């Protein structure tokens, strides 16, 4: 039925395109915090914490370190909630499906934008719940959109990483708000507009996404959306049963691979892969969060407080964030480079995916090391290179995180495992605030020693790709021995 096929392809392409726009324009806005801080300082948020202090040659200077600490705390809490609440969000998504998860996400996101809109310099503490709600609502947008990769088979990892790259690039939303503010558009008007956009999210939820899940592998003529309730119900049943039948379906496509029982959630959680992957994500995420949360005071220090230069470098940082959506697919292409090619004798699709992921994991760790070295160097013009490395690494980090979980573990546990790894890494990321306090206190504003310590810490990220590589080599060796024994007998 050519007409039906055309309709399905058009719907899937529209779902993909609108999901990309949603992630690009809304989901990860909280990570553009440095741009919003510039606006909030202009509006006088937490300005009562600035005090007169005695500077060099007994001159009077305005010390706003406590104001910076407060802004850093807002971001620390928001970034923690963004990751930690991914755990209950994952259970919510796995248990109740796409529609319920997205309705919760839309409610949280809209509430957050309204709270920012009605916050003032007199009520700056509204920023604490507002930014947290924005971050949690945004991660639900991302989580429910990543399954769209299942619609495109051999390009699955590429689309997952592309959406994660769009999530990173959405941090440029606060740059747009900053530029609009400088052009005379109020902060309240910008955030009220974002609140009104919730209507678009609702339309997409009901018309361009399934009620439950998009299964993988995808059944023939799979349909979804409110206009095809009968087909959607059938597809939902396939999705519900598909988790238990995934191994059987794959074995039917390749008779050389025996049917095996899927790992339980507990087995996945206690596996070596999960432990090293958690370490890999946690150390690099801490480096990124501390950099983003302290960018404004760092620029204040390197520019000697010159406002025009701080604004110039803040804009440059925010503009580079737009490139995340361009960088992330490179990681997906690295992970999908073996698709469509014949696999090694006796090698399963999952083993081929794991082997392809080694290069991605290694490059991500290497990028973070280079980024950390540049960020640790107190030379202002070098920060342009730091911004480029930061957005490249961040797009590889989060896209690679989701893609690795999708290939290393059963799809029925994706939401829960993604939630667990993000929640546990969030606990680790809380170290950013004591690091910031240490810099502002004992180190007198000089972050050099903290930066060196974090750079050394990022070396731990190289353990994960080495572990996966050794696993793949061990499996390959066992298959070669089995083949030799079979041939001799």
pLDDT (0 to 100) of residue 216: 73
58-72, 161-175, 254-268, 303-317: range with lowest mean pLDDT: 254-268
Domains in the chain with CATH codes = 17-215+266-340+347-477 (1.20.1250.20)
Burial category of 406 from C-beta neighbours within 10 Å (exposed 0-12, middle 13-18, buried 19 and up): buried
Provide mean pLDDT across the span 144-160.
Answer: 83
117-131, 168-182, 314-328: range with lowest mean pLDDT: 314-328
pLDDT (0 to 100) of residue 382: 94
pLDDT (0 to 100) of residue 228: 45
DSSP state letter for 304: T
Residue 184: phi, psi to the nearest 5?
Answer: 110, 0
Is the pLDDT assigned to residue 195 strictly greater than 80? yes
Alpha carbon distance 210, 218 (integer Å): 13
The residue that leads in pLDDT, 383 or 331, is 383
Is the pLDDT assigned to residue 442 strictly greater than 90? no
pLDDT (0 to 100) of residue 346: 67
pLDDT (0 to 100) of residue 229: 44
pLDDT (0 to 100) of residue 373: 95
Quickly tell me which residue has 């919510």 as its tokens: 92
Helix H segments across 303-342?
307-321, 324-335
Is the pLDDT assigned to residue 254 strictly greater than 60? no
What the block records as the tokens of 365 is: 């760790």
Is the pLDDT assigned to residue 292 strictly greater than 60? yes
Is the pLDDT assigned to residue 70 strictly greater than 80? yes
Helix H segments across 303-447?
307-321, 324-335, 349-376, 383-408, 414-429, 432-440
Run of H or E residues at 233: helix 229-253
Helix 86-96 vs helix 127-146: crossing angle, to nearest 10: 40
pLDDT (0 to 100) of residue 197: 94
pLDDT (0 to 100) of residue 138: 93
* 99-110 tens-digit pLDDT: 999 999 999 999
Task: For the chain, give the percent of residues with pLDDT over 90.
Answer: 36
Is the pLDDT assigned to residue 205 strictly greater than 80? yes
54-58, 146-150, 161-165, 364-368: range with lowest mean pLDDT: 54-58
pLDDT (0 to 100) of residue 263: 81
Provide mean pLDDT across the span 26-50.
Answer: 90
Contact (CB, 8 A) for 355 and 338: yes
What the block records as the tokens of 215 is: 């299964």
pLDDT (0 to 100) of residue 257: 41
User: Residue 157: which pLDDT band, with cuts at 50, 70 and 90?
Assistant: confident
Run of H or E residues at 204: helix 198-207
What the block records as the tokens of 158 is: 């590429």
The residue that leads in pLDDT, 31 or 116, is 116
The residue that leads in pLDDT, 154 or 177, is 177
160 Cβ contact partners less than 8 Å away, ≥ 6 residues apart: 146, 149, 332, 399, 402, 403, 406
3-state secondary structure of 60: strand
Cβ neighbours of 248 (radius 10 Å)? 11
* 294-318 tens-digit pLDDT: 888 888 889 888 888 988 998 898 8
pLDDT (0 to 100) of residue 236: 45
User: pTM for the full model?
Assistant: 0.73
Contact (CB, 8 A) for 81 and 135: yes
Provide mean pLDDT across the span 383-403.
Answer: 89
66-75, 281-290, 344-353: range with lowest mean pLDDT: 344-353
pLDDT (0 to 100) of residue 459: 95
Mean pLDDT score across all residues of the chain:
84
100 Cβ contact partners less than 8 Å away, ≥ 6 residues apart: 92
Contact (CB, 8 A) for 82 and 426: yes
**Integer angstrom CA distances of residue 400 from 319, 359, 409:** 22, 11, 14
Question: Which neighbouring-strand residues pair with 53?
Answer: 61
Run of H or E residues at 62: strand 60-63
Alpha carbon distance 289, 398 (integer Å): 13
Provide mean pLDDT across the span 196-208.
Answer: 93
pLDDT (0 to 100) of residue 201: 95
374 Cβ contact partners less than 8 Å away, ≥ 6 residues apart: 382, 383, 385, 386, 389
User: Residue 243: which pLDDT band, with cuts at 50, 70 and 90?
Assistant: very low
DSSP state letter for 259: P
Is the pLDDT assigned to residue 238 strictly greater than 80? no
What the block records as the tokens of 352 is: 């081929």
What the block records as the tokens of 444 is: 């007198």
Residue 62 exposure: Cα atoms within 13 Å on the Cβ side: 9
* 131-148 tens-digit pLDDT: 999 999 998 999 899 888
pLDDT (0 to 100) of residue 53: 74
Question: Which neighbouring-strand residues pair with 63?
Answer: 51
Run of H or E residues at 51: strand 51-54
């Amino acid at each position: 039925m050519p007409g039906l096929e055309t309709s399905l392809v058009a719907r899937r392409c529209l779902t993909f395109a609108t999901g990309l726009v949603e992630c690009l324009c809304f989901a990860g806005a909280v990570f553009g915090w440095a741009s919003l801080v510039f606006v909030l300082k202009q509006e006088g948020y937490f300005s009562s914490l600035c005090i007169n202090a005695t500077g060099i040659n007994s001159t009077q200077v305005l010390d706003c370190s406590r104001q910076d600490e407060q802004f850093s705390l807002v971001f620390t809490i928001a970034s923690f909630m963004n990751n930690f609440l991914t755990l209950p969000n994952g259970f919510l998504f796995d248990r109740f499906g796409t529609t319920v998860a997205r309705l919760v996400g839309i409610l949280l996101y809209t509430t957050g934008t309204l709270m920012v809109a009605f916050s003032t310099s007199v009520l700056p503490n509204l920023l604490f719940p507002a930014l947290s709600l924005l971050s949690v609502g945004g991660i639900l947008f991302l989580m429910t959109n990543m399954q769209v990769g299942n619609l495109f088979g051999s390009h699955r990892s590429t689309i997952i990483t592309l959406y994660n790259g769009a999530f990173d690039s959405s941090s440029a939303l606060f740059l747009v708000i900053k530029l609009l503010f400088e052009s005379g558009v109020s902060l309240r008007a910008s955030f009220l507009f974002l609140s009104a956009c919730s209507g678009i999210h609702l339309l997409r939820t009901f018309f361009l996404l399934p009620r439950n899940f998009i299964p993988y592998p995808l059944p023939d003529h799979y349909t979804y959306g409110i206009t095809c309730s009968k087909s959607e119900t059938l597809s939902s049943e396939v999705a519900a049963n598909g988790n238990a039948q995934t191994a059987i379906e794959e074995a039917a496509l390749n008779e050389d691979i025996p049917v095996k029982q899927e790992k339980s959630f507990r087995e996945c959680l206690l596996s070596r892969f999960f432990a090293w992957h958690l370490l890999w994500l946690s150390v690099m995420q801490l480096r990124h969060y501390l950099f983003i949360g302290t960018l404004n005071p760092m620029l204040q220090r390197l520019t000697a407080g010159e406002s025009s230069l701080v604004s110039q470098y803040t804009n440059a940082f925010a503009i580079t964030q737009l490139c995340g959506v361009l960088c992330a697919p490179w990681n997906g292409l690295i992970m999908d480079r073996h698709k469509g090619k014949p696999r090694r004798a006796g090698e399963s699709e999952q083993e081929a995916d794991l082997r392809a992921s080694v290069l991605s994991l290694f490059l991500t760790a290497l990028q973070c090391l280079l980024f950390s070295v540049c960020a640790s160097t107190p030379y202002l013009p070098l920060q342009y290179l730091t911004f480029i490395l930061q957005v490249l690494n961040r797009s590889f980090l989060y896209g690679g995180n989701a893609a690795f979980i999708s290939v290393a573990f059963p799809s029925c546990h994706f939401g829960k495992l993604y939630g667990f790894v993000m929640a546990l890494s969030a606990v680790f990321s809380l170290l950013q605030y004591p690091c910031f306090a240490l810099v502002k206190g004992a180190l007198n504003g000089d972050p050099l020693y903290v930066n060196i310590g974090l750079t050394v810490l990022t070396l731990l990220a190289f353990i994960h790709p080495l572990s996966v590589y050794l696993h793949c080599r061990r499996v390959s060796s066992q298959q070669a021995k089995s083949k030799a024994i079979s041939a001799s007998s």
